[in-house]
Structure 1
Amino acid sequence: MIKIYHFPNTRGLRAIWTCEELNVPYQVEMIDFSPEYRLSPEFLRISPIGKVPILQDDSITMAESGAMVHYLIDKYGNGKLRPETDNPKYPTYLEWSWFAEATFTSSASEIIRHKRAFPDDINAEVINEFKRRATFCLNALMNFLADKKWLLGERFSGADIMMGIALTTYARHVAEPFPPIIQNYFDRLSDRPAFLRTKQAES
């Protein structure tokens, strides 16, 4: 059975959500997120970089949440959650999957890291710069979603899982309101039964 090492409200939600959408059995193991445990020899044997999520599937061990989503879809999806590689929408699927993590989430993550590293000396200029970058990303997403239900149109995909957790992270840690188009999209994501089960799995 797939095992996912996780801590609440982190990127492991992507792997859990993908399993829920595909009805793939999995087990979640919540870890102690303290630096003492994450950097202990015990956990470093599982995660050499001392971070979550970690996905184990038989002899496979993975530490990148986006790669987990694609791996699970490719191995267990049976055509669900992604277009075929010769489908004209396949490049769009890839583009928005990686935009979610590499471009959008990176800005939100820098805000989180700065606040954690300098809780008593937060630099407003640094925060505002990364908010500006995140706003550019949100504007691009808003324009793309203007006439769409999901990123691929009427079809929900792994790209929406990637983006959904990116938006969840932003909403939780940056707490800036979304434009109406993105808020409506975020609400649709949050109302999916598989997402609701995902949140229950970490409670």
Structure 2
Amino acid sequence: MSSNITLYTWPTPNGIKASITLEELGLPYKVEGIDISSNRQKEEWFLKINPNGRIPAILDGSQRVFESGAVMQYLVEKYDTDRKISYAPGTPEHVEQTSWLMFQMGGLGPMQGQANHFRLFAGVRSDYGIKRYTDETKRLFSVLESRLKDSPYLAGSKYTIADIANFSWVRAAPITIEIDLSEFPSLNKWVDNIEQRAAVQKGVDVPQTGRTQEQKAELFRNLRAKVDALDNSDKH
């Protein structure tokens, strides 16, 4: 299948949602690495692609698409004619697919993102912030657990972009905010199964940074230790 796609991304939970989708569809694409630690995503040239200054975004020819969920929906609507990772619009399964995609975008991503901020990046330690957002992330994991007890995938019997979106965040939790997925056995099994997919193994490492999983884990250990050494703002 021909395409003229450039993916602007970094291997974050949101970033890999787009790269996994592209890999699953077998689409050729170019990669422009946007190291978010350098604030490249705030440069004027990139704001013309995504006015919000966030990754991922794509250009498909002259068509820009920004926000990870919109990128995923655009790609399957235009290119997934065989419905490999999506359901046809108008079907009950498509409604379910959209619902779980929005669950990730409106719930899991923002809440786990805040847990990441308070546990890894905040300039002042806040026990309240850490507990508030980690507990909410676990609650959302329990919602996924409940669904996956009854269904092999979130939208139904088939793996879709709804699974990709939620998987990309859930898989990160053990090494970022130390959530033990064994507390959620159905969710844990679902993560393990998705991890085995060849397209996923390629997509989680786009662009390649050269860091091993252990090096990533060490980075997050150091970030947590730095936050732990800070004064607790809750005491002030």
Same fold (TM > 0.5): yes
Unmatched tracts of structure 2, length 5 or more: 209-236
How far apart in 2 are the matches of 1:60 and 1:4? 12
Q: Tell me which structure has the larger Cα radius of gyration.
A: 2
Q: 1:74-113, aligned counterparts within 5 Å?
A: 74-80=77-83, 81-113=85-117
User: Tell me, what secondary structure is at the counterpart of 1:164?
Assistant: helix
Deviations 1:164-190 (A, max 9, x none): 112134334222111111111111111
Letter in 2 for 1:134: T
After superposing the two structures, state which structure 1 stretch, 4-13 or 21-30, moved more.
4-13
Cα deviation digits, residues 75-114 of structure 1 (max 9, x gap): 0000412222232222211111110121112111112233
Q: Which amino acid aligns with 1:193?
A: A
CA shift for structure 1 position 37: 3.1
Q: Is the 8 A contact 2:119 2:177 kept in 1?
A: no
Indicate conservation of the 8 Å contact 1:4/1:12, yes or no.
no
Deviations 1:6-64 (CA, angstroms, capped at 9, x unpaired): 11224121111111111111111112324553333343344333221121101211220
Within-5 A mapping of 1:1-203:
1-80=4-83, 81-115=85-119, 118-119=122-123, 121-178=124-181, 179-203=184-208
Displacement, 1:3? 0.5
Normalised TM-score (structure 2): 0.78
- The Cα RMSD (Å) is 1.9
Deviates more, 1:148-157 or 1:94-103: 148-157
Question: How many Å separate the matches in 1 of 2:6 and 2:98?
Answer: 25
| Cα distance in structure 2, aligned partners of 1:23 and 1:153 | 23
Q: Distance in 2 between matches of 1:193 and 1:90?
A: 24
Q: Aligned-pair distance for 1:142?
A: 0.6
Q: Structure 2 CA distance, aligned partners of 1:61 and 1:198?
A: 21
Count of paired positions? 202
Distance in 2, Cα, partners of 1:140 & 1:25: 35
Runs of 4 or more above 6 Å deviation: none
The one-letter amino acid of 1:17's match is I
Q: In the alignment, is the contact (CA less than 8 A) between 1:14 and 1:161 conserved in 2?
A: yes
Q: Give, in whole Å, the separation in 1 of the partners of 2:50 and 2:155.
A: 34
| Alignment CA distance shift 1:136-1:75 (3 Å) | same
TM-score using structure 1 length: 0.90
Q: Tell me the distance in 1 between the aligned counterparts of 2:165 and 2:117.
A: 20
Which whole-Å CA distance do the structure 1 matches of 2:144 and 2:65 have between them?
Answer: 28
- Counterpart code for 1:202: P
- Alpha-carbon separation, structure 2, partners of 1:180 and 1:151: 15
Distance in 2 (alpha carbons) for counterparts of 1:202 and 1:35:
15
| Aligned amino acid, residue 197 of structure 1 | K
